[in-house]
């Protein structure tokens, strides 16, 4: 069935429903940039808060220093990082700029010192091995507190010998030459390393060299006015008591040298020496010990024989016991007389053999020496070793020496002297050689030959043989006569006993004459050379 369309209508269309406004809801997306901005602000604030000032250090070389990697450290704690490495305007130095952190700021004062720690392989020092793995870094010593703020520094070439956090004191040693000493050489006390050599100062080059050393606490309390210092560098080899003596302090002292000191018992009650006290530095232990004796009697002796082998430091002995030391040997020439002599200056040290207080207080040293000289005391050259020719001075009593007065040269006493030891032997041999050179051995040999021929002819003469035979017959006849007299007077009379003794002696004499004649007949030269091997 068909549907009819609706009838048209003139009514207005229905009105739309009323519109309602909706507010937008909050989106969490906006929190991301907000939080990022807050974090950035915080990080920036923290960075500004922790970032310290810019430090500038100048070095002579920029080896192993890298921007962005090399750090400034103190006791393994990072204090800053290198930002840039550049050259100075005149290209003479390397300028390193370091951004310090807030902890490193406290190290920026006038007392601070900076240096680069690298691997160091030298004869006397082996350090910085950790940098082979971690790389080089810049170390700092803050120094003493109270320094003014400073952000420009000149870096050190090496680590300082004394650190501000290491207690101890520095001292100055004066010497003519430093030998093998160098910065870093050890300082020994009883074979214990108690400090090190900081360096040396040659001054104007005309005076002694000043060696600066550092001694750690508590060993610095052993440095007192009586302390003695000597070089313990290298190996000491010498002949002692007939043997070869080798001595060295340690392997490190052989390589890099060293300084040794000791404190005698006489200084046990003294106060410790203050910082930078000056001491002499002796070349050897013997020199230091010799200088420590309080009583030194200067003595001079002159010699006209050779003093080769006698040097400074040679011992002066009496009966084989050292009582002093030679200080100098000098040649003295008299241009007017045309003569020369050797002047030996020595110090006699009574403390080597006498305890304190044993020397008589009512006698002066010159009075004691004068008595000894009157008894024959003389200074002579002694030979320590015939192999090396080393000599010493021996004070010996010479038999038959006449008393002689002691002379003076300033404060020194002049002892009478004479040559001795090897020189006497050489002079004696030379004298014998000179005398032998004057003998005409050809003429002497000719005369001996003639004498032997003459003696042989004389002893071989038949007349001498006949005389000896007749003497033998006579003695036999006398023996028979005495036997007849024995029968007449009896066997037990005094006459008989005396006669028996006479006959016995006569028989011995006859036997001796016969043996002598036979021996001279075989060896006529025995009249000149004596009885012995043909």
* Average pLDDT score over residue span 111-140: 69
What distance, in Å, lies between the first and last C-alpha atoms of the chain? 192
Is residue 297 predicted with pLDDT exceeding 50? Answer: yes
Q: What is the pLDDT of residue 511?
A: 75
Distance CA 325, CA 309 (A): 15
Residue 464 banded pLDDT, cuts 50, 70, 90: low
* Average pLDDT score over residue span 114-118: 87
DSSP β-ladder status, 259-262 and 391-397 = unpaired
Q: What is the pLDDT of residue 250?
A: 57
CA atoms in the 13 A half-sphere facing the CB of 34: 5
Residue 123 banded pLDDT, cuts 50, 70, 90: very low
pLDDT digits 0-9 by tens, 488-500 = 655 555 656 666 7
Q: What is the pLDDT of residue 213?
A: 92
pLDDT digits 0-9 by tens, 220-239 = 999 999 999 999 865 555 55
Nearest to 368 by CA among 341, 406, 412, 409: 406
Residue 124 banded pLDDT, cuts 50, 70, 90: very low
Query: Using alpha carbons only, how large is the chain's radius of gyration in Å?
Result: 53
pLDDT digits 0-9 by tens, 382-419 = 888 777 778 889 999 988 888 888 889 988 999 998 87
DSSP 457-510: HHHT-HHHHHHHHHHHHHHHHHHHHHHHHHHHH-SSSHHHHHHHHHHHHHHHHH
Q: Which CB contacts under 8 angstroms, 24+ apart, belong to 372-376?
A: 372/397, 373/403, 373/404, 373/406, 373/415, 373/416, 374/403, 374/404, 376/400, 376/401
Q: In the chain, what percentage of residues exceed pLDDT 70? A: 66
Helix segments in 264-400, DSSP class H: 285-291, 365-374
Length of the chain: 534
* Average pLDDT score over residue span 33-39: 79
Nearest to 54 by CA among 28, 81, 23: 81
Q: Is residue 30 helix, strand or coil?
A: helix
Q: Is residue 416 helix, strand or coil?
A: coil
Q: How far is CA 65 from CA 51, 68, 98, 117, 211, in A?
A: 21, 9, 11, 10, 32
pLDDT digits 0-9 by tens, 250-263 = 555 565 678 999 99
Strand partners, 211: 173, 200
Beta strands in 285-410 (DSSP E): 297-303, 315-318, 321-334, 339-348, 377-383, 391-397, 407-409
Cβ atoms < 10 Å from Cβ of 508: 10
pLDDT digits 0-9 by tens, 263-278 = 988 788 899 999 999 9
Q: Is residue 511 helix, strand or coil?
A: helix
**Whole-number average pLDDT of the chain:** 78
Nearest to 70 by CA among 15, 7, 117: 117
Cβ atoms < 10 Å from Cβ of 389: 13
What are the two backbone dihedrals, phi and then psi, of residue 248, each rounded to the nearest 5 degrees? Answer: -150, 155
- Asked if 252 and 204 count as a contact pair (C-beta separation under 8 A), the reply is no
* Average pLDDT score over residue span 160-166: 77
Is residue 298 predicted with pLDDT exceeding 80? Answer: yes
Nearest to 380 by CA among 391, 388, 389, 372: 391
Sign of CA dihedral 179, 180, 183, 188: negative
Distance CA 71, CA 96 (A): 11
Q: What is the pLDDT of residue 331?
A: 92
* Average pLDDT score over residue span 73-79: 89
Q: What is the pLDDT of residue 391?
A: 86
- Asked if 281 and 181 count as a contact pair (C-beta separation under 8 A), the reply is no
Q: Which residue has the tokens 């109270």?
A: 146
What are the two backbone dihedrals, phi and then psi, of residue 372, each rounded to the nearest 5 degrees? Answer: -65, -40
Q: Which residue has the tokens 């080597």?
A: 352
Q: What is the pLDDT of residue 329?
A: 93
pLDDT digits 0-9 by tens, 354-375 = 776 666 777 788 888 889 999 9
pTM as predicted: 0.56
Token pair for residue 269? 């009650």
Domain ranges of the chain: 46-154, 168-291, 297-430, 441-529
């Amino acid at each position: 069935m068909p549907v009819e369309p609706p009838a048209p209508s003139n009514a207005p269309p229905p009105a739309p429903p009323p519109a309602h406004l909706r507010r937008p809801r909050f989106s969490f997306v906006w929190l991301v940039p907000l939080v990022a901005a807050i974090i950035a602000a915080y990080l920036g604030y923290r960075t500004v808060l922790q970032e310290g000032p810019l430090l500038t250090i100048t070095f002579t070389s920029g080896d192993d220093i890298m921007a962005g990697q090399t750090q400034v450290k103190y006791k393994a704690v990072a204090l800053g990082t290198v930002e840039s490495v550049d050259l100075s305007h005149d290209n003479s130095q390397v300028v390193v700029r370091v951004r310090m952190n807030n902890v490193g700021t406290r190290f920026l004062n006038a007392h601070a010192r900076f240096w680069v720690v690298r691997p160091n392989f030298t004869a006397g020092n082996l350090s910085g091995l950790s940098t082979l793995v971690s790389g080089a870094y810049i170390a700092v010593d803050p120094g003493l507190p109270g320094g003014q703020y400073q952000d420009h520094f000149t870096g050190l070439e090496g680590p300082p010998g004394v650190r501000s956090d290491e207690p101890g004191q520095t001292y100055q040693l004066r010497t003519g030459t430093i030998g093998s000493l160098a910065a870093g050489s050890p300082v020994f006390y009883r074979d214990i390393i108690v400090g090190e050599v900081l360096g040396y100062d040659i001054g104007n080059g005309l005076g002694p060299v000043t060696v600066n050393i550092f001694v750690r606490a508590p060993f610095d309390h052993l440095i007192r006015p009586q302390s003695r210092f000597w070089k313990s560098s290298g190996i000491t080899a010498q002949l002692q008591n007939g043997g070869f003596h080798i001595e060295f302090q340690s392997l490190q002292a052989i390589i890099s040298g060293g300084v040794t000191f000791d404190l005698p018992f006489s200084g046990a009650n003294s106060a410790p020496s203050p910082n930078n006290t000056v001491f002499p530095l002796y070349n050897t232990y013997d020199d230091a010990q010799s200088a420590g004796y309080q009583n030194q009697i200067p003595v001079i002796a002159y010699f006209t024989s050779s003093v080769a082998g006698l040097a400074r430091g040679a011992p002066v002995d009496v009966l084989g016991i050292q009582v002093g030391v030679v200080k100098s040997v000098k040649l003295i020439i008299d241009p007017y007389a045309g003569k020369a002599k050797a002047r030996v200056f020595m110090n006699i040290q009574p403390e080597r053999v006498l305890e304190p207080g044993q020397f008589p207080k009512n006698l002066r040293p010159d009075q004691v020496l004068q008595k000894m000289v009157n008894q024959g005391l003389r200074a002579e050259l002694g030979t320590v070793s015939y192999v090396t020719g080393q000599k010493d001075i021996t004070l010996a009593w010479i038999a038959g020496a006449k008393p002689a007065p002691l002379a003076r040269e300033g404060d020194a006493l002049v002892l009478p002297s004479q040559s001795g030891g090897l020189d006497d032997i050489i002079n004696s041999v030379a004298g014998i050689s000179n005398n032998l050179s004057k003998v005409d051995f050809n003429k002497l040999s000719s005369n001996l030959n003639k004498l032997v021929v003459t003696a042989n002819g004389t002893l071989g003469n038949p007349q001498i043989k006949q005389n000896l035979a007749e003497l033998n017959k006579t003695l036999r006849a006398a023996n028979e006569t005495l036997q007849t007299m024995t029968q007449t007077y009896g066997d037990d009379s005094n006459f008989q006993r005396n006669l028996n003794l006479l006959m016995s002696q006569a028989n011995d004499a006859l036997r001796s004459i016969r043996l002598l004649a036979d021996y001279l007949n075989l060896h006529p030269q025995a009249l000149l050379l004596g009885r012995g091997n043909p």
